[in-house]
Structure 1
Amino acid sequence: MAESVVTFLLDNLSVQLQDEFRLLRSVRDEVQYIVDELERIKSFLRVADAMEENDANLKVWVKQVRDVAYDIEDSLDEFNLRFAPTCGGRAFHARLRNLLRFVKNLRARHRIASEIQGIKSRVGSISEGRRRYAVGGIGSSSGGGLVRRRLGRQGDALLLEEADLVGIGEPKRRMIEWLMGNDSGRQVVSVVGMGGLGKTTLVKQVYEDPRVKKRFKVHAWVTVSRSFKTKDLLKDVVQQIFRVIRKPVPPEVSSMNNDNLKESIKDLLKQSRYLIVLDDVWHVRAWESIKLALPRNDKYGSRVLITTRNAEIASSSCVETNDWVFSLAPLAEEESWDLFCKKAFQGNSCPPHLEETCRLILKRCGGLPLAIVAIGAVLGAKDKASKDEWSILRDSIGPEIEGNYNLDSMKRVLSLSYSDLPYYLKSCFLYLSMFPALQNIENMRLVRLWIAEGFVVEKEGKTLEEVAEGYFKELLDRGLIQAAGTTNDGRIKSCRIHDLLREIAILKSKEQDFAEITKEQGSVWSDKARRLSVLNTPQNVEHKNVSKLRSLLVFVEEDSVAEFSLSALFPRGFRLLKVLDLRGVSLEIFPKVVVKLFHLRYLSLRDTKVKHIPGSIKKLQNLETLDLKQTYVTELPAEILNLKQLRHLLAYRYEIESYAHFDSKYGVKVPIGIGSLQSLQKLCFVEANQGNGTIMTELGKMSQLRRLGIIKFRERDGIALCSSIEKLTNLRSLSITSEQKDETIDLHRISSVPNLLQRLYLAGRFEKLPHWISSLQNLGILLLKWSRLKEDPLVHLQDLPNLVHLEFLQVYDGESLHFKEGGFPKLKLLGLDKLDRLQSVTMDNGVMPGLEKLVIQRCKLLKNVPNGIEHLTMLNAIEFFDMPDELIMKLRSDGGEDYWKVANVPAVYSSYWINGGWDVYSVERFSEKESSQQGAAAATAVRSHRRSTLWKV
């Protein structure tokens, strides 16, 4: 973690040293010395960071490095703040003000120079400490061995006894069935999942099964661990094979090089049916180093089993068609309960008065067997404790993990995943600790926050957002976060972190002054904290010195009406703040103090009642994200054009009166000259009905735009918009809504469409469907509303190769739709809404082979079930909303003539919009008794679908 702090600091220092005018010569010399020393320290930190847990002296040294890095950052930010250029004003007056400020701040210059002198002295002392450690062997060959031995011990999986596990029977049966199969070629199966799921335990039970031992006479179990050496790994395999075949290990094995060892393994295995287990694989190179030594000997049917926490390793090792990735899932709720009771109550039932508390404790374990066993064992020792004592324990799981020896093994196993992270991911992971437990976290919110914090390292040919999304995927692949919400085109919209991993992150964050969380009145938190997360209500914060604070995130309870005042809560101010997230706080007026935050990069007022953005916002010269979504801001001041670093501008809200209302989306008026914001990547939603179309022309100047949303579009602005769209070659998502429902959207003049476009939302009338839509090879989502086309749109859309989500609302005035064979090869969701003249739908055999969900609503003349619907073999759900009774009756399971067409679809139901809400009329795939039990679930599904059709970009 200290390495990431120093790396970030070095990047900033390099920029500072290039600016001759903002750094005095004497200070430059001191900073250059500091840079040189920190560069030398940095390489040492990579080893020290991994070792500090078990070395108290080293831990103190790493903390000193971290503290001095933070202090240098503070000094430089103070320096920049003091001498930041004045915004606006006439040139002469601006220069005069800057001159006066220069004279006024001479004292500040000397103070900061003195601080840096002091920091130089501290860095020198720290460097001496580094050299003392180097003499002791850290960083030398012997030191490396020490690291390997320590990590090797940590890498040993904490095996759970089979008797301790529940739910292992089915995975074990499936795996043995696979091993005993008749496939003759060498096959690889990777068992993947987060630490503590029981991967090693499962594979160990399979490996030691008598049937498996009998089938695979030659077998070897190799624990790889994080710090493996290829030669040691190969030598271990050779020695195990010789032991299994009952032959002495030849003396020359000890002196063989890697190539000779691989040849020896190949010779030993080429005439055998073998089973090799590679347990605890952390790096792809571990598999790469041994796979060529494992012969395919196709006629024997050999097998390789791999356990790993990293999904990327699992997929890269299973590249043949007959290989298999087995994702181990957490235990189901009842399986978790059985295991918990077995450990906490020695197999007896949970006392009734403790059940509610115990189930809440169990929820924190998230189905993780290791956590359930460890926490259950601790609680078992408290079987005579009162209900209040158990409740206290429930609320203090985090501190309990830190202080309870019996939970140390669980903490160590979970911490391993964190320790293995590269430096650039450690800060990103710790940032997750600032979000409330069990909350789904939007991935784009994380991406923007990470960028604002400076965690994201630039890569040539990629935007910072693309690099950050790569970080997100890495954390996902490593099992440190789980996907919580996905779109139909496969994008992950939100994630969550396992509650116990979050507790680990909280402990690490607090220990390293990375972040603090305050959630109760009188919470104690360090003045050195760089980030503060305020949970529940802002009133929990006590007035403290927050001069070092870089980020403030406030999370309020739903429907909270408590008044919020930054000035009242933090009277001493936080001049160095970079991130301010006030989502959902009770706020009606833009806080004046915000415009004093020169370093601010991220500002979110989402879900507040703010109506007006002042012109003084121009002072926020470093602002990158301005999130005004779901506020009441309707116009942005002209001064917004001063924010040249702005990358994401979100200013819109939804007000849903009914489930398909035209005027449900509100955007903002933007000033003339918006095209000068060259760094913008997301701009939503711009009101187009301003002036003579100048705004539409301006859009073409923002070449970095990835996502663009336009509302109140006028037909006469079509030429200007078409010209702009042709220039937006990086565009991934485009949403356009006309000024009136019957106003024509003229987009036919686009001759060169952005070929990266993935999502297209068009609401308004078309004379005919734009010809260029059929050429969008990367289009995944297409939503069309109120188009009122005379010609069948399917003809132009059926060959789109990557379309997975298609919705129509009053799109077509014809009487029939024909989905032809071979059309829509990847479509997963199809929605047809209010096609007023539609009387028949035909689906050929071979059309939409992957369709999973079909939604048909408000088509009042469609009284027959779609012909050929029985061909859609992948359908999981069919939903009918406000459809004729004649159609619904034909689908009833108790005698409907067309029920056979949907008999194999798991869920078929209908509902009606009554008095502003959905009334679930019937759930067709259940009996009457089951229907009453499932009605609430069906209603939830209906509401979920309606939410999913809100227009976003």
Structure 2
Amino acid sequence: MRADYVHPAEKIDEGSGWELIRKIVFGDGEDAIISELEEVGMEIVRKCDGLPLAIKVMAGVLFHKERTKTEWKKVVESDLWFRKEIKLSNALYLSYEDLPNHLKQCFLSCAFYHGISHRSDIIRLWVAEGFVIEELDSLMEVTAKDYYKELIARNLLQIDQRFEDGRLFVMHDVLRSFGEKLMEEEGIIISGENHCMNFQMASQGHRDSMSMMEGGCDLDDLQYLCNLNDLVISKLERARTTNFVLESKTFLRILTLGWTMHNNENNDEQSGEAERICKQLSPPATLEVLSINNFPGRQFPDWMVSTSLADLTFLALDKFPSCTALPPLGQLPNLKILHIEGGEAIKSIGPEFLGRRTPAFPKLEYLAFDSMRNWEEWVLRVAPIEDVHASNLNFFPNLEKCYFYDCPKLKNSIHPPTRLLQINGCPNLESMEKVGMLQLRKFEVVLPSEIKQLPKWISSLINMTLQSLQLFNMQCNSLVLDSCRKGKQNWHIIQHIPKVIIHSIGLETRLLRSPLVVSLVGRDPLAASLASHGRLAHRPLVASLASHCQLAYGI
């Protein structure tokens, strides 16, 4: 086997190599066993010739071995170290040979994926190719996820650090080339295509657990897949269906429905067809995660707020340009994360958003409004004499975080009872109405540079929450910052807040206040931002929300 797939790599010293193994293999409080295995561990480091990738994959091997000198000596004395190859490829051979047979096939299949790839794609491939050993009372997709986790633990795959749940992965170029060479030598053939829905496969006895479908197919064919766990249906504008629904798919936990829209232009016929298709895709009560993207209809289906969706914990509505009102999502009993983005036709959100049952949004912890370009108000009354919930605590009893991002026309809003409130891209905001007992702990806001004075709604909100507010973090122009200095016109508004951080736009300054010190510090803006304990978060993304959901609920 030629070594032409190996490119030069910087080497590390033996001490650093052993430290890398220690971090991967051992946890805290294992000093005794670390000391006992250090000598043989250093032998393994030397055999890796200081190559970090070789050391990492060997650490993956050692992680799955018994922590005894006898087992580690077997690794040192393996014949695979004596192949006529460079140290790196010998380490890769040893790591590969240490894999169980089913994981060898899975590892080799990853060589087809270049760059950053999706976990769902590779899992789907493993199931379709028959690499996954079927286990009693366990879906094959769940077993395949365990395979994926083991390849990660062995450092044969790397997760994209932007998503802590490991949904995206990448294979090191050297490992991918190594896998390709192995397949050439051993004559292994694996399909490199990203499998979509394979109905014939389902009819031949596979337990289908994670599938993707693109429109243009007859949705009635979904009837052949009985054990769906994760279903993505895209390009629904091309779909054909009669009366098929998903209610019978009792294993279904995650559902993504998507359309393709061009310039957000939809006629009556397209909107009506989208509403009809969406209505017929009514999911089962087992559903936990729902995402709807580029929906061209004028109203969402009734099943979205059906009491039967008792297990739904995550909902993302991303780009729905024709809907003029939000459904009564407050009656979903276990919803914990709600992301609403791109509702171009939404001008007002009223009491209908809460629904009629109380408490509304009983379990919601995270709420985000993003890119609501025409949204003007959020109110809890439809007329001066009709106050729906404004005087009681029958909504958002568990809300932890609330975000308003890129809502340029928003003028009036309620202040939902939340511990963290973040507002960015809302230059016309004039008032936030107090509702219920506010327990705001962190208030973070970005003011456009054209705003020269501290808005009254900010001072009013701070005054309303002064008993609970612990952190006020603001980004503004230098005039507003100067007005908040000690002795200046707005000092009395912020002086009793335990921690205040104010960044000025375009200047290398910030105002930091604690109970002991008030100081104006000149420094690099990025460094100041990173050093800030209460720094403003970046724009909330659906991806990060989904990541949080998967971490929290084991999806």
- Look up the SS of the partner of 1:689 in the other structure: helix
User: Which residue number in structure 2 is paired with residue 397 of structure 1?
Assistant: none
Question: In the alignment, which of 157, 169, 176 is matched to residue 495 of structure 1?
Answer: 169
Question: In the alignment, which of 101, 109, 113 is matched to residue 431 of structure 1?
Answer: 109
- Report the aligned-residue RMSD: 6.1
User: For 2:272 and 2:234, how far apart are their aligned partners in 1?
Assistant: 17
Question: In the alignment, which of 192, 201, 208 is matched to residue 551 of structure 1?
Answer: 192
Distance change in 2, residues 1:368/1:447 (3 Å): same
- Look up the SS of the partner of 1:495 in the other structure: strand
- Look up the SS of the partner of 1:744 in the other structure: coil
User: For 2:358 and 2:144, how far apart are their aligned partners in 1?
Assistant: 30
Question: In the alignment, which of 113, 122, 130 is matched to residue 454 of structure 1?
Answer: 130
Q: Partner letter of residue 187 of structure 2? A: D
- Look up the SS of the partner of 2:237 in the other structure: coil
User: Which residue number in structure 2 is paired with residue 154 of structure 1?
Assistant: none
Distance change in 2, residues 1:600/1:790 (3 Å): same
Q: How does 1:401-480 map to 2 (within 5 A)?
A: 405=84, 407-408=86-87, 410-436=88-114, 439-459=115-135, 462-480=138-156
Deviations 1:38-71 (A, max 9, x none): xxxxxxxxxxxxxxxxxxxxxxxxxxxxxxxxxx
- Look up the SS of the partner of 2:167 in the other structure: strand
Shift of 1:403: 10
Shift of 1:431: 2.5
User: Is 1:707 aligned to 2:327, yes or no?
Assistant: no
Q: How does 1:171-570 map to 2 (within 5 A)?
A: 191-193=22-24, 222=36, 365=52, 405=84, 407-408=86-87, 410-436=88-114, 439-459=115-135, 462-486=138-162, 491-514=165-188, 530-531=189-190, 550-552=191-193
- Look up the SS of the partner of 2:379 in the other structure: coil
Answer whether contact 2:471 2:498 (CA < 8 A) is retained: no
Answer whether contact 2:132 2:144 (CA < 8 A) is retained: yes
User: Is 1:789 aligned to 2:378, yes or no?
Assistant: yes
Looking at both structures, which has the greater relative contact order when contacts are Cα pairs under 8 Å and sequence separation is at least 6?
Answer: 2
Answer whether contact 2:245 2:282 (CA < 8 A) is retained: no
Distance change in 2, residues 1:640/1:696 (3 Å): closer
User: For 1:858 and 1:793, how far apart are their aligned partners in 2?
Assistant: 33
Answer whether contact 2:469 2:497 (CA < 8 A) is retained: no
Answer whether contact 1:451 1:468 (CA < 8 A) is retained: yes
User: Is 1:668 aligned to 2:261, yes or no?
Assistant: no
User: Is 1:641 aligned to 2:220, yes or no?
Assistant: yes
Q: Partner letter of residue 433 of structure 1? A: A
TM-score, normalised to structure 1's length? 0.36
Question: In the alignment, which of 315, 329, 334 is matched to residue 734 of structure 1?
Answer: 315
Q: How does 1:679-698 map to 2 (within 5 A)?
A: 682-685=255-258, 689-690=271-272, 694-698=276-280
Shift of 1:222: 5.0
Answer whether contact 1:777 1:800 (CA < 8 A) is retained: yes
User: Which residue number in structure 1 is paired with residue 234 of structure 2?
Assistant: 651
Shift of 1:669: 6.0
Distance change in 2, residues 1:900/1:777 (3 Å): closer
User: Which residue number in structure 1 is paired with residue 551 of structure 2?
Assistant: none
User: For 1:856 and 1:670, how far apart are their aligned partners in 2?
Assistant: 43
User: For 1:840 and 1:738, how far apart are their aligned partners in 2?
Assistant: 25
Q: Partner letter of residue 767 of structure 1? A: G
Distance change in 2, residues 1:702/1:191 (3 Å): same
User: For 1:443 and 1:625, how far apart are their aligned partners in 2?
Assistant: 12
Q: How does 1:530-929 map to 2 (within 5 A)?
A: 530-531=189-190, 550-552=191-193, 579=195, 625-626=211-212, 636-637=215-216, 639-642=218-221, 644-645=223-224, 648-651=231-234, 668=237, 670-673=239-242, 675-676=244-245, 682-685=255-258, 689-690=271-272, 694-700=276-282, 706-709=289-292, 711-715=295-299, 720-722=302-304, 725-728=306-309, 731=312, 733-736=314-317, 743-747=324-328, 753=332, 755=334, 758-761=337-340, 763=343, 764=346, 765-768=348-351, 769-771=353-355, 781-784=366-369, 785=372, 786=375, 788-791=377-380, 799-800=397-398, 806-807=403-404, 810=407, 814=412, 817=415, 824=419, 830-834=422-426, 836-838=428-430, 854=444, 856=446, 863=455, 867=462, 880=475, 886-888=479-481, 921-922=506-507, 924=509
Distance change in 2, residues 1:890/1:676 (3 Å): same
Q: Partner letter of residue 735 of structure 1? A: A
User: Which residue number in structure 2 is paired with residue 141 of structure 1?
Assistant: none
Shift of 1:192: 3.8
Shift of 1:625: 4.2
Q: How does 1:52-67 map to 2 (within 5 A)?
A: none
Shift of 1:484: 1.5
Distance change in 2, residues 1:888/1:797 (3 Å): farther
- Look up the SS of the partner of 1:551 in the other structure: coil
User: For 1:627 and 1:455, how far apart are their aligned partners in 2?
Assistant: 21
User: For 2:469 and 2:13, how far apart are their aligned partners in 1?
Assistant: 44
Q: Partner letter of residue 258 of structure 2? A: F
Distance change in 2, residues 1:684/1:448 (3 Å): same
User: For 1:404 and 1:449, how far apart are their aligned partners in 2?
Assistant: 32
User: For 2:484 and 2:135, how far apart are their aligned partners in 1?
Assistant: 56
User: For 1:869 and 1:924, how far apart are their aligned partners in 2?
Assistant: 26
Distance change in 2, residues 1:403/1:910 (3 Å): farther
Answer whether contact 2:57 2:95 (CA < 8 A) is retained: no
Q: Partner letter of residue 766 of structure 1? A: I
User: For 2:363 and 2:97, how far apart are their aligned partners in 1?
Assistant: 38
Distance change in 2, residues 1:766/1:930 (3 Å): closer
User: Is 1:165 aligned to 2:12, yes or no?
Assistant: no
Answer whether contact 1:761 1:783 (CA < 8 A) is retained: yes
User: For 1:432 and 1:696, how far apart are their aligned partners in 2?
Assistant: 35
Distance change in 2, residues 1:789/1:729 (3 Å): same
User: For 1:508 and 1:701, how far apart are their aligned partners in 2?
Assistant: 44
- Look up the SS of the partner of 1:800 in the other structure: coil
Shift of 1:435: 2.3
Which protein is richer in helix relative to its size?
Answer: 1
- Look up the SS of the partner of 2:108 in the other structure: helix
Q: Partner letter of residue 234 of structure 2? A: A
Q: Partner letter of residue 444 of structure 1? A: S
Distance change in 2, residues 1:754/1:507 (3 Å): farther
Unaligned residue ranges in structure 1 (runs of 5+): 1-160, 173-189, 208-218, 224-276, 281-306, 308-338, 345-361, 372-400, 515-529, 532-549, 554-578, 581-594, 602-621, 629-635, 653-666, 912-920
* CA radius of gyration, larger in: 1
Answer whether contact 2:362 2:397 (CA < 8 A) is retained: no
Shift of 1:743: 1.3
User: For 1:702 and 1:807, how far apart are their aligned partners in 2?
Assistant: 32
Answer whether contact 1:891 1:924 (CA < 8 A) is retained: no
Shift of 1:804: 6.1
Give the count of matched residue pairs: 439
User: For 2:471 and 2:90, how far apart are their aligned partners in 1?
Assistant: 43
User: For 1:166 and 1:486, how far apart are their aligned partners in 2?
Assistant: 26
Question: In the alignment, which of 526, 537, 541 is matched to residue 948 of structure 1?
Answer: 541
Shift of 1:741: 6.8
User: For 2:471 and 2:152, how far apart are their aligned partners in 1?
Assistant: 27
User: For 1:454 and 1:782, how far apart are their aligned partners in 2?
Assistant: 41
User: For 2:529 and 2:54, how far apart are their aligned partners in 1?
Assistant: 25
User: For 2:415 and 2:217, how far apart are their aligned partners in 1?
Assistant: 49
User: Which residue number in structure 2 is paired with residue 130 of structure 1?
Assistant: none
Shift of 1:770: 2.0
Deviations 1:6-49 (A, max 9, x none): xxxxxxxxxxxxxxxxxxxxxxxxxxxxxxxxxxxxxxxxxxxx
- Look up the SS of the partner of 1:782 in the other structure: strand
User: Which residue number in structure 1 is paired with residue 76 of structure 2?
Assistant: none
